[in-house]
Amino acid sequence: MLTGISPLLSPELLKTIAEMGHGDELVIGDGNFPAAAMAQRLVRADGHGVAELLEALLPLFPLDRFVPKPAALMEVVPGDPTKPEVWDHYRAIIKRLQPERIADGFEMVERFAFYERAKNAFAIVSTGEAALYANIILKKGVVE
């Protein structure tokens, strides 16, 4: 056991984020995201939501300060009436834990472009998140 580290972060996830370098990307996918089909490295976080993982992860994971938007969301498909309220939770978490990294908001990525970017990510975390469009890509920064 370790102190100060959320029990939501499995040893496998901790190892994965420790191996990541500056500019590497981590995808946290919702329960509908085709993570296993796309991942170079797949980390399972079944039973957990994306927001709670963000809350646990961001104290240990610096977002990249050299890009204007180090967090990216999957755009709602045109014509889909879904209004992803979970995005407001993400914004609040990042604003509280790394306020300087969310000033320019989120990068919005079209669905299939998001999938292509996910295929090139360092790792994908597969969650049990039930909210639609709850996927997020985090670009790792440097430890300062």
Instruction: Work out the average pLDDT over 9-36.
Output: 97
Distances (CA, A) of 125 to 36, 78, 106: 9, 26, 19
Go through the chain and tell me how many residues it has. Answer: 144
What does the pLDDT average to over 6-18? 97
The ranges assigned to domains in the chain are: 24-139
To the query of whether residue 22 is one of the catalytic residues in this protein, the response is: yes
* Confidence (pLDDT) at 104: 77
In this predicted structure, the answer to whether residue 144 has a pLDDT above a threshold of 90 is no
pLDDT in tens, 55-83: 999 999 999 999 999 999 999 999 999 99
Q: Which carries the bigger pLDDT value, residue 108 or residue 4?
A: 108
pLDDT at 125: 98
- At the top level of CATH, which class does the domain 24-139 belong to? alpha beta
**What's the pTM?**
0.96
Dump pLDDT digits (tens) for 84-99. Answer: 999 999 999 999 999 8
Contact 49, 80 (CB under 8 A): no
CA dihedral 120, 51, 6, 99 (to 10 degrees): 90
Which one of the listed residues 15, 22, 96, 119 is annotated catalytic? 22
Where b means 16+ CB within 10 Å and e means fewer, 44-67 reads ebeebbbbbbbbbbbeebbbbeee
